[in-house]
Chain A
Amino acid sequence: MSYLDKEALKVVGTRPIRPDGIDKVIGRASFGADYTMPGMLWGKVKRSPHAHARILKIDVSKALRVPGVRAIVTAADFPNIANEEAFVGEGPMNFRDLSRNCMARDKALYDGHAVAAVAATSNAAAEEAAELIEVEYEVLPHVIDVEAAMAPGAPILHDDMLTQGVEPKPTKPSNVAKKITFTKGDIAKGFAEAEVVIERKYTTKPVHQAYIEPHACVVAVANDGQTTIWSSSQGQFMVRAYCAKLLGVDIANIRAMPAEIGGGFGGKTLVYLEPVAMALSKKSGRPVKLVMNREEVFRGTGPTSGGTIEVKLGAKRSGRIVAAELVLKYQAGAFAGSPVGPGCMCAFAMYDLDNVHITGYDVVSNRPKVAAYRAPGAPISSFGVESCLDELARELGIDPLALREMNAARDGTKTPYGPTLTNVGYLQTVEAARNHPNAKIPLGPNQGRGIASGFWFNIGGESSAAVHVNEDGTVAVVEGNPDIGGSRASMAMMAAEVLGIPYEKVRPVVGDTASIGFTFLTGGSRVTFATGMAVTQAAEKVVEQLKSRAAAIWDISPEAVEWRDGKAFPAGANAGSFEPLSLADIAIKSGRTGGPITAEVSINAQGAGPGFATHICDVEVDRETGHVKILRYTAVQDVGRAIHPSYVEGQIQGGVTQGVGWALNEEYIYDKDGRLENAGFLDYRIPVASDMPMIDAVMVEVPNPRHPFGARGVGEVPIVPPMAAVANAIADAVGARMRDLPMSPPKLRAELDELDPPRMAAE
């Protein structure tokens, strides 16, 4: 069924309090590190201090003598997994690499790479023992930056890495894991027709998801191998599958329990600690808790890539773009798998372009293996493309919104990466931005306004949900996705809407891997879309059962019963005359009419519906310090249909703020030996409350017809435009074009000095 008529909705579109809210405001919610078990040991991971080193020997004899130590594991305690690539959700996954990322084998590939781990009866004993594990290294030359890693003679990380996607097939190893290309039309012909050509290079630094909750888990392996994992992750089924693979056990032997998750943004779509805790628990025979500290999170877990973005645009003087060329080089970290693919896909997807050529390189270097981060890859390429469009707009003297409108993707536009777009809300976002009061507020000296757009394709995928009618007419909804930002509320709302009962009567629960069917992880902006679809279908099946139970009670045909406002009614005069039966009336009699009323639905949801956004950012530049203040921020987004508008706004506001941090402050800083110098929140500075204004989240609703309520994914696209929006605003304010992120005060000061050289005091 479809519920696209907004006026008819009673629950969807309202703003109720989230069902798990009270636990989270009184400190009762249990996150990863809040679990304990009787007899539990504390674990600690030993990490490499070298960016690139051969592991010659690991001597654990001193560490084993620390009182309380019960087990120490190294790579020798894990199966040596063969090179095997699988595609998991948003990106490639090579289990050999994942295994070696969790525990280095033969070589440590970055500062912070795990090389051993210990479990002991106290945290202090574990820490002391970890210090005493002696690792003998042969330090190797290292390489940190992407272009240096691609240069001839660069230190090679993996002797068997032969670049994929180039002809002829290479015979010598390199740090380029893969080259990909997307082509549409004839790029040479396009540039030949161009009246203006603009060619620029931009660079970005790796940034961390910086979820406030560090990774944490408790793992208990019983004598018969039955394993229970409590952990904070973006997917309990992901944890189960990856641990089974990395430890070489059957999936049936593992039950993964989802803890509350303290932020992820893609960074918890991998495992780091769980397989290690599992190996320690197996070896010690005791439950083991592993918790990272913040330094370990920065050094040992994946940020997203830094990259270089080379953009060449050819346009007519009218502003119509006739050729667009892009070269992306993304850091993958120590193992292949940067998000350069989605970076390529999203870069020009807002535009209807005839001639496009995109090349992407996935490049390894001695940094932590990158992990997904909110619209993985898209913010990087879009920073370049949307900045370059702004440069083009200035060159042509065309309003940046008008330039985007002129080239906008519409229904039927074929994207450079293949699909043809339908139900596109992009122009609506441009229009809403143009009409927003923010677009007209006069600007003062050193103030500027920047515009940028963004695209994210969104995903669907495998989801399961169960709806159980309780004896008293209340309802339990069980779903398989960890609730990372209020999705329990959306699930309960969709179920309540279908069933016709109050939201408060529905209790949503995130099930463990033994309590609900397989559900792909919380990511790709898929939960409200895909799992919401499963919840809706399960609730519809329950309605069918309720109708047939009412029919049985009335002794009429089920087709003669209709369901509305939470009650069964005879469908018409011919059906007979009966008092309506509420869900509670039917529930209490369910034992006598066929047993419990329940339905579970498992689907592979397709048709996620892409997300588009257009942002307006107003800044003020302090010429003396180079500091940029965000004065105003308006983020317009096509959200399809907002199920719970407050949590949709929250996704937009949060994504924008992360983007502002990426634009202005955040970066990984390495010393000459390849050691991370700013592995803490003091030196890796994410935005704080006093850095930000209120953020106006403007929701445009172009319903997605593939979802029963019209929902689109909303979580990722808001981080795509901000970096260019800020850069474009700075250019507008002071004429400085910042092409290297972050646009930190010293860099902006240097740029301003170049534009307007300071006079020496002596003059």
Chain B
Amino acid sequence: MSKHHVTTTINGEPTEYLCEGQQTMLDVLRDELGLTGSKEGCSSGDCGACTIIVDGDIVCSCLMLGVEAEGRKITTIEGVAEGDKLHPVQQKFLEHAALQCGFCTPGFIVAAKALLDQNPNPTEEEARYWLAGNLCRCTGYDKILRAVMDAAEVMRAEARR
């Protein structure tokens, strides 16, 4: 069985790869491209640890095929910071101790970034429902919500400057 040739953009970089028809985007990221920041927690779209942004929308990369990336723009956790400057969501996750084991963290950060890109001023309830597709077993979500709400405030202040 021959592999498919895919041309796409990942974290701003033009990227080409070969993948099997049945390989998920998550498999491609982790096993073909060495981008292991996206995690596999369930492979059924229930845990959100593999969350990526595809053309502005969040997607569980375990539910997307590698071939579907053709011509798309993809952001993974590796592309959230700008160089050595952390995204406000990343910085606030650190300051609020919003991670314990850190395994769900990439998915949460990608999902939270997408939320704040679309809605700079969410209510706590909106943020809780937006993040309801990301499972965290360690934190009880308290500090994650505080980090996201705090990051939203920082980003609004930055936008005003």
CB within 8 Å for A680 and B46 given contacts A24-B105, A25-B86, A213-B103: yes
Is B33 an interface position by the 8 A CB rule? Answer: no
B residues in contact with A688, CB < 8 Å: 131-135, 141
CB within 8 Å for A689 and B141 given contacts A30-B36, A31-B103, A485-B101: yes
Please tell me if the beta carbons of B94 and A212 are within 8 angstroms of each other in the complex.
no
Is A226 an interface position by the 8 A CB rule? Answer: no
State A485–B125 Cα separation when bound (angstroms).
Answer: 26
A residues in contact with B35, CB < 8 Å: 27
State A449–B150 Cα separation when bound (angstroms).
Answer: 30
CB within 8 Å for A213 and B39 given contacts A25-B86, A25-B93, A650-B139: yes
CB within 8 Å for A686 and B128 given contacts A27-B77, A263-B101, A681-B42: no
A residues in contact with B43, CB < 8 Å: 293-294
Please tell me if the beta carbons of B41 and A294 are within 8 angstroms of each other in the complex.
yes
Is A58 an interface position by the 8 A CB rule? Answer: no
> Quick check: which of A270-278, A603-611, A652-660 contacts chain B, the rest being far away?
A652-660
Please tell me if the beta carbons of B39 and A262 are within 8 angstroms of each other in the complex.
yes
Task: Output the nearest chain A residue to B46 by Cβ-Cβ distance.
Answer: A681
Within 8 A of A (CB), among B17-37: 20, 22, 30-31, 35-37
User: Which of the four size classes fits the interface of chain B?
Assistant: 35 or more
Question: Number of A interface residues, CB 8 Å?
Answer: 61
Please tell me if the beta carbons of B86 and A262 are within 8 angstroms of each other in the complex.
no
Is A682 an interface position by the 8 A CB rule? Answer: yes
Q: Which of B49, B99, B146 contacts A25 (CB 8 A)?
A: B99
**Count the A-B residue pairs with Cβ separation under 8 angstroms: how many?**
187
Q: Return B125 CB to nearest CB of chain A, in Å.
A: 8
Q: Which of A18, A20, A214, A653 contacts B142 (CB 8 A)?
A: A653
CB within 8 Å for A682 and B103 given contacts A26-B78, A689-B134, A695-B142: no
Please tell me if the beta carbons of A647 and B140 are within 8 angstroms of each other in the complex.
no
A residues in contact with B90, CB < 8 Å: 25-26
Please tell me if the beta carbons of A25 and B109 are within 8 angstroms of each other in the complex.
yes
Q: Return A293 CB to nearest CB of chain B, in Å.
A: 6
B residues in contact with A15, CB < 8 Å: 97
B residues in contact with A450, CB < 8 Å: none
CB within 8 Å for A212 and B135 given contacts A27-B106, A653-B143: yes
Q: Which of B102, B131, B135 contacts A24 (CB 8 A)?
A: B102
Binary CB contact string for chain A from 16 to 44 against chain B (1 if under 8 A, 0 otherwise):
01101110111111110110000000000
Residue with the greatest number of chain A CB neighbours at <10 A, chosen from B78, B81, B129, B138: B138
Binary CB contact string for chain A from 241 to 279 against chain B (1 if under 8 A, 0 otherwise):
000000000000000000011111100000000000000
Please tell me if the beta carbons of A695 and B97 are within 8 angstroms of each other in the complex.
no
Task: Output the nearest chain A residue to B44 by Cβ-Cβ distance.
Answer: A680
Within 8 A of A (CB), among B140-156: 140-146
Q: Return B66 CB to nearest CB of chain A, in Å.
A: 13
Task: Output the nearest chain A residue to B80 by Cβ-Cβ distance.
Answer: A26
State A654–B127 Cα separation when bound (angstroms).
Answer: 19
CB within 8 Å for A680 and B42 given contacts A653-B140, A692-B141: yes
Please tell me if the beta carbons of A33 and B142 are within 8 angstroms of each other in the complex.
no
Residue with the greatest number of chain B CB neighbours at <10 A, chosen from A25, A124, A211: A25
CB within 8 Å for A27 and B37 given contacts A213-B101, A213-B103, A261-B101: yes
Is B104 an interface position by the 8 A CB rule? Answer: yes
B residues in contact with A31, CB < 8 Å: 39, 103
Please tell me if the beta carbons of A212 and B137 are within 8 angstroms of each other in the complex.
yes
Please tell me if the beta carbons of B41 and A689 are within 8 angstroms of each other in the complex.
no
Please tell me if the beta carbons of A484 and B101 are within 8 angstroms of each other in the complex.
yes
Q: Return B6 CB to nearest CB of chain A, in Å.
A: 18
Is B100 an interface position by the 8 A CB rule? Answer: yes
A residues in contact with B106, CB < 8 Å: 25, 27
Is B38 an interface position by the 8 A CB rule? Answer: yes
State A210–B42 Cα separation when bound (angstroms).
Answer: 11
A residues in contact with B47, CB < 8 Å: 212, 294, 681
Please tell me if the beta carbons of A485 and B100 are within 8 angstroms of each other in the complex.
yes
Q: Return A190 CB to nearest CB of chain B, in Å.
A: 39
Please tell me if the beta carbons of A33 and B145 are within 8 angstroms of each other in the complex.
no
Please tell me if the beta carbons of B97 and A647 are within 8 angstroms of each other in the complex.
yes
Residue with the greatest number of chain A CB neighbours at <10 A, chosen from B36, B81, B104, B134: B36
State A294–B45 Cα separation when bound (angstroms).
Answer: 11
Within 8 A of A (CB), among B34-62: 35-44, 46-47, 49
Q: Return A313 CB to nearest CB of chain B, in Å.
A: 31
B residues in contact with A28, CB < 8 Å: 37
State A180–B24 Cα separation when bound (angstroms).
Answer: 51
Task: Output the nearest chain B residue to A27 by Cβ-Cβ distance.
Answer: B37
Is A486 an interface position by the 8 A CB rule? Answer: yes
Q: Return A634 CB to nearest CB of chain B, in Å.
A: 12
Is A402 an interface position by the 8 A CB rule? Answer: no
Please tell me if the beta carbons of B39 and A212 are within 8 angstroms of each other in the complex.
yes
Is A646 an interface position by the 8 A CB rule? Answer: yes
B residues in contact with A263, CB < 8 Å: 100-101, 103, 137-138
Binary CB contact string for chain B from 72 to 107 against chain A (1 if under 8 A, 0 otherwise):
000011101100001000100111110111111110
A residues in contact with B99, CB < 8 Å: 21, 24-25
B residues in contact with A209, CB < 8 Å: 137
CB within 8 Å for A695 and B140 given contacts A650-B100, A680-B46: yes
B residues in contact with A262, CB < 8 Å: 39, 41, 101-104
State A20–B30 Cα separation when bound (angstroms).
Answer: 21
Please tell me if the beta carbons of A211 and B101 are within 8 angstroms of each other in the complex.
yes
Q: Which of B77, B86, B94, B139 contacts A654 (CB 8 A)?
A: B139
State A294–B127 Cα separation when bound (angstroms).
Answer: 26
Please tell me if the beta carbons of B100 and A484 are within 8 angstroms of each other in the complex.
yes
Is B67 an interface position by the 8 A CB rule? Answer: no
Is B116 an interface position by the 8 A CB rule? Answer: no
Is A139 an interface position by the 8 A CB rule? Answer: no
Please tell me if the beta carbons of A694 and B145 are within 8 angstroms of each other in the complex.
yes
Is B10 an interface position by the 8 A CB rule? Answer: no
Residue with the greatest number of chain A CB neighbours at <10 A, chosen from B22, B99, B133: B99
CB within 8 Å for A260 and B102 given contacts A21-B94, A25-B94: yes
A→B interface (CB under 8 Å): 15, 17-18, 20-22, 24-31, 33-34, 123-124, 209-214, 260-265, 291, 293-294, 484-486, 644, 646-647, 649-651, 653-658, 680-682, 686-692, 694-695, 697
A-B pairs with the 8 shortest C-beta distances?
A27-B37, A262-B103, A24-B102, A657-B140, A653-B140, A646-B97, A27-B77, A681-B46
Query: 17 pairs across A/B with beta carbons < 8 Å?
Result: A20-B102, A22-B86, A27-B36, A211-B137, A212-B136, A213-B103, A214-B41, A260-B101, A264-B101, A485-B100, A486-B100, A646-B97, A653-B139, A653-B142, A656-B140, A681-B46, A689-B132
